[in-house]
Amino acid sequence: MPRSALPGTLIAIAVLVAGFAAAFLIGRFPVSIGDIIAVLWSKVADGAADVPAATEAVILQVRGPRVIAAFLVGAALAVAGTAFQGLFRNPLVSPDILGASSGAALGAVLGIYFSLGVLSIQIFAFIGGLVAVTAVYLIGSAIRTRDPVLVLVLAGVVIGALLGAGVGLVKYLADPYNQLPAMTFWLLGSLAAANVSDLVPLFGPVLLGSVVLLALRHRMNVMSLPEEEARALGVPTGALRVAIVAAATLVTSASVATAGIIGWVGLVVPHLARSLVGPDFARLLPVSAILGGGFLLFIDTIARSVAQVEVPLGILTAVIGTPFFIWLLASVSKTWS
């Protein structure tokens, strides 16, 4: 790792460690670092933990799955946002703007409407996200203009609005006593219901999509060049673009299926990571994942601790992300290149 990237990487790791500590220690039930170490050591040593049973249950069954889910969702959204921004060479692109989140939301809401299992909901979410991003990209490619970035963003807004109307229709048709409240709360973004059984369907797609993107990290650097230059260097831009879109949509869909719509992570975190380690995807992707996981850990900790009633994650990320992104626009705009 270049020495210039080491400080930024250490900062990202420090944010993640602080996020894990805050997520485990802060809450209505008091837990200390000693309790966490004792419980973890008891599992490694295959012995009994020298802590009350209630404390062990809180660490392993309540906060543990939620903390892991928050890290995975935050890392996935940040990695997807980084991949989309690099692929489309546009610092304003994110899974939300390109319609991936809206498409995944429509697919997941349909899964809830038909009372499907978690795996089926995730498949529906992936198909919805992939169809949405494909439609946006096809529209952007079909319309010839001097400003293709503007066309891409506008296409994402239009497709997102259409998919939002589809979500509204499904909510209108849903059972108002059981399905509708679940859909409404889920769409605002929450990890309140996260448990151990949710981690496997989330971990698998996030790991697979992230590994694919990391494997393509050097070619993604070439994809940041103009199309003609990338082809001149021997890069199969068409197949590579499909692979990147599929992998980024997979991790986005898995996150949406688990936690609902959580905006701003895929837009803000890649900018912050780029300001720390530069534009090289070999460093940018892992640092984005680390920062995204740490960021959502802090957001989720605030969501369950700031008030008597849990605040939806989507609301908090918007409240915090909006001024933060304005600051980023003013201070780190030069780091894009």
How far is residue 169's CA from residue 181's CA, in Å, rounded to a whole number?
Answer: 15
* pLDDT over 90 at 18, yes or no: yes
Domain range summary for the chain, segments of one domain joined by +? 6-336
How far is residue 136's CA from residue 151's CA, in Å, rounded to a whole number?
Answer: 9
CA-closest candidate to residue 264, choices 76, 70, 77:
77
* pLDDT over 80 at 322, yes or no: yes
Pick the CATH number of 6-336 from 3.20.20.450, 1.10.3720.10, 1.10.3470.10, 2.60.40.720: 1.10.3470.10
* Vertex 73: Cα angle to 163 and 18 (nearest 5): 145
* 78-120 pLDDT tens trace: 999 999 888 887 777 788 777 888 998 999 899 989 988 877 8
* 261-309 pLDDT tens trace: 898 899 889 988 998 998 899 999 999 999 999 999 999 999 999 888 8
* 229-264 pLDDT tens trace: 878 877 787 788 888 988 998 899 889 888 988 988
Tell me which long-range contacts 319-322 makes (C-beta under 8 A, separation of at least 24): 320/264, 321/263, 321/264, 321/265, 321/267, 321/268, 322/264
**What single-letter amino acid sits at 326?**
I
- Give percent above pLDDT 70 in the chain: 94
What average pLDDT does range 43-59 have in this prediction?
78
